């Protein structure tokens, strides 16, 4: 067995998250989280760009319960490449309470796709963040998108805001719903009503099939965590961006913890405080119900809607 050594500077996930004061509505979904290994059982992929700490499905489910959430959407992390076993076994271990988003290559067989569907996969992720993955030709991704469309799945895309102009035509050519991770990673040194974020809003306005996760304040924020400014002001620079998206597109937003928070070098968030961040971006019970329950249920558990 290979011994995996964590990437230098890697921060482990927060072992004792606080109990959130905000009580998510019954049936709330963490629509963006990952599992890492455990490496002894599910080795990390040779092509990975980082080696994380272990973060098992049981630890994920314990967090789900602690935070008052009901379900998880487990997104394949790049450290596992296209070896989806850890994610699939996590979905199988919590039937009805976990769904998955896979990474697949064009060589994937129809039988493998069908087995993933049965385990609970409802989407594939295309990653365009260059520090995380090697380049895959768009023709290959397009081909995959047509195959998974037949299963009723959608495409999750991860990219940085500066790359949206170049990726726009590709995204709009996809035949499925397109779910954008972390609001397309806006640069928070730019204003929420400036041209960069306006482009992302236009993208959502013009294309009703585009959804956004309003996740990762800890990853996007330049103003920083609670220790710097007090709990109520944590990640305060993210608030105007996320609120705009939640209030303009209330039927196409999702929220997730991003646990176990890959690649954070300076600050590891307390997941309890991430839940307490929700009412700052979704200010009414109606918006919270859409963000946390109705929208993820429509996308991941449509048979129950
Ligand atoms: C995230 C963000 C990151 C990593 C991954 O799959 C991954 O490795 O998604 C990141 O480093 O920005 O959504 O978890």
**Of 35-49, 116-130, 218-232, 235-249, minimum mean pLDDT range:** 218-232
State percent of the chain over pLDDT 90: 94
Q: Which atom of ligand 1 is nearest to the CA of 50?
A: 8
What pLDDT does residue 2 have?
Answer: 65
- What was the pLDDT predicted at 228? 56
- Give the integer Cα–Cα distance in Å for 157 and 155: 6
Identify whether 181 is a catalytic site residue.
no
Instruction: Find the distance separating the first CA and the last CA of the chain, reported in whole Å.
Output: 44
Q: Is the peptide bond before 38 cis (omega within 30 degrees of 0)?
A: yes
Q: Angle of helix 239-248 relative to helix 195-206, nearest 10 degrees?
A: 20
Q: Is the pLDDT of residue 107 over 60?
A: yes
Give the β-pairing of 178-180 and 210-213: parallel
pLDDT score of 153 more than 80: yes
Q: Is the pLDDT of residue 252 over 70?
A: yes
Report the alpha-carbon distance of residue 185 to residue 163 in Å, rounded. 10
The pLDDT, as a whole number, for residue 41 is 97
pLDDT tens digits, one per residue of 130-142: 999 999 999 999 9
Average pLDDT score over residue span 172-176: 98
Q: CB neighbours of 283 closer than 8 A, spacing ≥ 6?
A: 243
Minimum mean pLDDT among 1-10, 31-40, 203-212: which range? 1-10
| Site residues for ligand 1, CB cut-off 6 Å | 77-79, 132, 158, 181, 258, 262-263
276-300: average pLDDT: 98
pLDDT digits (tens, 9 = 90+) for 47-104: 999 999 999 999 999 999 999 999 999 999 999 999 999 999 999 999 999 999 999 9
The model's confidence at residue 229, banded by pLDDT at 50, 70 and 90, is low
pLDDT score at 96: 95
Is residue 226 scored above 80 in pLDDT? no
Q: What is the mean pLDDT of residues 5-27?
A: 95
pLDDT for the residue numbered 82: 98
- Taking the centre of ligand 1 as the mean of its atom positions, its distance from the CA of residue 9, in whole angstroms, is 16
- CB distance 73 to 101 below 8 Å: yes
- pLDDT band at residue 225, thresholds of 50, 70 and 90? confident
Q: What's the pLDDT score for residue 250?
A: 98
| CA distance to 181, 235, 301, per residue, from 217 (Å) | 12, 6, 26
pLDDT at 177: 98
Residue 199: predicted pLDDT = 98
**Dihedral angle at the C-alpha atoms of 18, 24, 26, 32, nearest 10 degrees?**
-80
Mean per-residue pLDDT for 218-246?
86
**Contact, 214 vs 183, CB < 8 A?**
yes
Residue 132 CA to ligand 1 centre (angstroms): 7
pLDDT, one tens digit per residue, over 292-302 is 999 999 999 99
Pair of tokens at residue 179: 């779910």
Residue bearing the CA closest to ligand 1, atom 3: 262
Nearest atom in ligand 1 to the alpha carbon of residue 263 is: 11
Taking residues 265-274, what's their average pLDDT? 93
pLDDT of residue 3: 80
Residue nearest to atom 4 of ligand 1 (CA): 262
For the CA of 216, the nearest atom of ligand 1 = 13
Per-chain mean pLDDT for the chain: 96
pLDDT of residue 232 exceeding 80: no
Nearest CA to ligand 1 atom 9: 77
Which atom of ligand 1 approaches the CA of 258 most closely?
14
Whole-number Å distance, alpha carbon 81 to ligand 1 midpoint, is 12
Q: Within the chain, what is the greatest distance between any pair of CA atoms?
A: 52
């Amino acid at each position: 067995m290979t011994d995996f050594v964590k990437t230098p500077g890697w921060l482990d996930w927060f072992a004792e998250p606080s109990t959130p004061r905000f009580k998510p509505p019954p049936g709330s979904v963490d629509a963006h989280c990952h599992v890492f290994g455990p490496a002894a059982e599910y080795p990390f992929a040779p092509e990975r760009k980082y080696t994380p700490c272990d973060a098992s499905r049981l630890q994920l489910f314990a967090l789900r319960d602690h935070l008052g959430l009901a379900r998880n959407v487990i997104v394949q992390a790049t450290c596992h490449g296209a070896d989806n076993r850890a994610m699939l076994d996590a979905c199988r271990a919590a039937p009805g309470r976990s769904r998955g988003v896979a990474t697949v290559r064009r060589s994937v067989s129809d039988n493998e796709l069908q087995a993933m569907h049965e385990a609970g996969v409802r989407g594939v992720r295309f990653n365009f963040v260059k520090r995380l993955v090697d380049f895959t030709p768009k023709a290959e991704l397009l081909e995959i998108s047509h195959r998974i469309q037949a299963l009723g799945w959608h495409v999750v895309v991860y990219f940085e805001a500066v790359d949206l102009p170049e990726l726009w035509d590709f995204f709009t050519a996809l035949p499925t719903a397109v779910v954008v991770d972390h609001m397309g990673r806006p640069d928070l040194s730019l204003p929420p009503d400036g041209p960069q974020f306006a482009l992302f809003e236009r993208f959502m306005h013009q294309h009703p099939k585009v959804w956004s996760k309003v996740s990762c304040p800890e990853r996007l924020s330049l103003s920083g965590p609670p220790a710097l400014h007090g709990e109520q002001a944590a990640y305060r620079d993210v608030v105007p961006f996320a609120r705009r998206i939640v209030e303009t597109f209330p039927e196409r937003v999702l929220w997730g913890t991003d646990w176990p928070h890959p690649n954070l070098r300076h600050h590891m968030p307390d997941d309890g405080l991430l839940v307490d961040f929700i009412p700052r971006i979704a200010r009414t019970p109606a918006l919270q119900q859409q963000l946390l329950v109705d929208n993820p249920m429509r996308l991941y558990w449509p048979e129950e809607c």
